Amino acid sequence: MPPNTTASTGTKPAKSGRKKGRKARLFVLVLALALVGGVAYGSYWSISTVRASFPQTGGTITIEGLSGPVDVKRDGNGIPQIYASSDEDLFMAQGFVQAQDRFYEMDVRRHLTSGRLSEMFGEGQIENDEFLRTLGWDRVAKEEYDSKLSDSTKKYLQAYAKGVNAYLKGRQGEDISLEYAALGFANDYKPAEWTPVDSVAWLKAMAWDLRGNMQDEIDRALMTSRLGPKQIADLYPAYPSGRHKAIVQEGRYDEGTETFDGDGGESDGEGDGEGDGEGDGSGTDPGTSGDSDATGGGTDATGASADGAALQTQLSGLYDVLEDLPEAVGVNGNGIGSNSWVVGGAHTITGKPLLANDPHLSASLPSVWYQMGLHCRTVSEACGFDVSGYTFAGMPGVVIGHNKDIAWGMTNSGVDVTDLYLEKLTGDGYQVDGKVKPFKTREETIKVAGGESKTIVVRETGNGPLLSDRDDELVKVGRKATVDTAAPDRGDGYGIALRWTALDAGTSMDAVFAMDRAADWDGFRAAAALFDVPSQNLVYADTKNHIGYTLPGKIPTRAQGHNGSVPVPGWNSRYRWQGFIGQDELPYEFDPARGYIVTANQAVVDKGDYPYTLTTDWGYGTRSQRINDLVESKIKGGGKISTDDMRQMQLDNSSEIAKLLVPMLLKIDISDPDVRQAQKLLEGWDYTQDADSAAAAYFNSTWRNILKLAFGNKLPRELRAKGQCLWVEPTDTTGPADENRKVRECGQRDADQAQPDGGDRWFEVVRGLVDDEDSDWWTTPEVGTRDGAANRDDLFKRAMVDARWELTAKLGKDIDTWSWGRLHRLFLKNQTLGTEGPGFLEYMLNRGPWKLGGGEATVNATGWNAAGGYGVVWVPSMRMVVNLGDLDKSRWINLTGASGHAYSAHYTDQTDKWAEGELLPWAFTEKAVDDRTSDTLTLKP
């Protein structure tokens, strides 16, 4: 039975000094800028200062190092198309142009990836830097550059860096961006030259954002302090394979001629893969799943066990570190997803494929994406690129887009490429199979703007860096954990190490250029094989009327009894990764008979005879199935799909959970006339969450309150939102419940990271419980004069009442004025000075709000966290539809604009159109580009 909890209102819990220190970002800067705001606001922030860094977009600029002239043609949105006669000139120009528009963003990113944010922003960033130095992204990037990447890739990276540095030459900070002008008041920071490694390292940040199920590992372990194995299993239901189609339905993997058909049960040799939390190896239960438990007090195959409460303390500390990383790295893996699908020519108006993509990431200003075209005037051995699409500012090439022959899109595969290891630490080493091995160590010196440098020691085991060294809370488990006689003595305690594929040097940068040049399916598959991290679902289409899907990536294989769902003992070598799935053994599809392929973070393969476990934590397939249904309905109706049909599908706002719950909510007898008035909004509602819909506002508020009452108030404080306080039984209390023993306990997570977040996992949780009207989950205690709930309908009724008065407080008593968009708003914030600078600077750098439709787990995935509120926390970061019948009729849009300059006309000039669901024309051929060109800049040697 869920633990007895009682809701309470109250103030935020006091933060520890350590937490305060980490949250006090940019304090040196804030102090200085506050003075600027008070003393020089009217005089210093002049028009000339603001415009000093705007790029030159016409005329001629001479750049040392070019071998010939380069033309940069910009359209009315400032999107550049570059024309050159050699690869080196092309990428040198790309570096120059991106630096013109986005160098401040590029500079912050490289300080992020290298753990050097303190150099720019002061001591408030030291703990972030310590954590990032421990991960060592820049060290891995350097190793990649030195030993893994091809000579041609290095040549392109070098050319790109030369272009960036050509832009920087002779420029002071205020000539580069408004933010540097502000930084100049706080410290003497000056931008350094760009290096090829700076470009490579950004792929590590994106891999971190898309790292898989690490958060689920942590959350499952944290739940053990309040919930039992069966309850945790309820909250991690099996993937609904009978209802939501996998990506690969007719595909195969290359192991001789063996195929898999997606019709049976996915197996990893550990169980049936379905998962009931009772030891079947599914990973839904950290206390009893398989024989690999090291988190919930169970015993693993080595005979070792760890106390769940102790690990709960440890992983809570780890979460504190993870959630505090800058938002530039996204929303730390929670809720991240994407849509991408491709329809073959047999089902399109043009007779050629259409390909759509909209990656979902946290909203940032400027957008993480940068649109551009890279064109060789004549494609030849000396100049081999003619490609257009989305790239990252700071990185050469195009990441997602098309060339003259093929198009491709990406979604996060969600495969499990991380594991947490409990390590037995002994003196200067760690224990493996009864022997002590020395740590691999290195010293890292962190320079601090306005303060003294700090030196840390990074320790690594054979399983990876010790994350526990970066937070005092993480070492507590070693003092509390209980082990049996077969386990090593706890000594001073266990640490936590991270094994992650992105900490191995790889070849993803090679893959970017290879995909840009690929001309057919075989070339694309060969290029994709180089894309080792982050593992992505890649969809493909070409002008010869082929479509395809492939799953690349470096994906580990694990020993039987260890499926990657929970932390495991590092002191037993059995739990080390066994190897990696061969690229020729990974799933793919080519020209499936159904004529289309959909990827939206659902299971890659259904329950078939595929021999490997890819993850135990797929997305639950709500978005993907809706896209499948939309495509199928068009095809079965005899229609042909157009570019605009693809766009309309991207904007689909239908709520699947509303379709399930609204008929039940309408049957509940409501006597209060005000609540009944709100309930009537749901009558005749078509379940679409348009921005102007009052019904969507009321339903989503009801859904939020259902989740809070049924689940949120029963979760441990480490998962609940800050400021949400309850009276609960202490975790160490035994015996029957006693009201006199309850203690006040407040949530600890930031609002956009808390649980229950309301995503499609929670759809499946509720779907699995909703027919059991008397489930313990539907019970709630009385709170003051408020009645408790004894069953499902009682709880639903209370949620509807709470929703009515919540919206009355937020939107007013008159329901005619209610709308979903008034609750569900997007604010775009500059990710450094726009989040914690003084008010006037935030006003200068930030934009919004925009009232949005869509929602969590809809195709139009404007994500919000039900535990924390209704505000938009992640979005379709761009949208595109590629028309392989006529590439010039393709369409695209970015979340913000091409420019990172706050008062440029192109700072957020695409956002209004993005919010309305519009797409811009996407010219590709030279004639089409010329027709849309507004400014031409010539770069001359």
Whether pLDDT at 881 is above 90: yes
Percent of the chain with pLDDT over 90: 62
Q: Provide the phi-psi class of 279: left if phi over 0, else alpha when psi is between -120 and 50, else beta.
A: left
Q: Regarding predicted confidence, which is higher, 516 or 736?
A: 516
Which ranges of 731-832 does DSSP label H, i.e. alpha helix? 760-769, 792-811, 820-823
Tell me what pLDDT residue 750 has: 84
CB-CB contact of 672 with 680 (8 Å): no
Whole-model pTM: value is 0.88
pLDDT tens sequence across 404-417: 999 999 998 888 88
Instruction: Write down the pLDDT at residue 47.
Output: 66
Q: Are 931 and 920 in contact (CB under 8 A)?
A: no
What pLDDT does 680 receive?
98
User: Which pLDDT score, from 0 to 100, does residue 405 have?
Assistant: 98
pLDDT at 752: 83
Write out pLDDT tens, residues 761-816.
Answer: 999 999 999 999 999 999 998 877 788 899 999 999 999 999 999 999 999 999 99
Report pLDDT for 427.
Answer: 82
Q: How confident is the model at residue 743 (pLDDT cuts 50, 70, 90)?
A: confident
What are the Cα distances from residue 868, in Å, to 2, 578, 865?
22, 40, 5
Burial class (CB in 10 A: 0-12, 13-18, 19+), 24: middle
pLDDT class of 593 with cuts at 50, 70, 90: very high
Query: What pLDDT is stored for residue 300 in this prediction?
Result: 35
Letter for the amino acid at 325? L
pLDDT for residue 914 is more than 70: yes
pLDDT of residue 329: 41
Predicted confidence band of residue 205 (pLDDT cuts 50, 70, 90): confident
Average pLDDT, the chain: 83
Give Rg (Cα) of the chain.
27
Mean pLDDT throughout 66-91? 98
pLDDT at 428: 87
Distance CA 73, CA 935 (A): 6
Residue 2: asked if its preceding bond is cis (omega within 30°), the reply is no
740 pLDDT band (50/70/90 cuts)?
A: low
Cβ contacts of 618 within 8 Å, gap of 6 or more: 239, 414, 601, 602, 603, 604
Q: What is the dihedral of CA 479, 482, 483, 485, to 10 degrees?
A: 100
Comparing 399-403, 491-495, 496-500, the range with the smallest average pLDDT is: 491-495
Which of the listed ranges 254-263, 441-450, 682-691 does the model predict with the highest average pLDDT?
Answer: 682-691
pLDDT in tens, 221-248: 778 778 888 999 999 999 999 899 999 9
Confidence of residue 887 (pLDDT cuts 50, 70, 90): very high
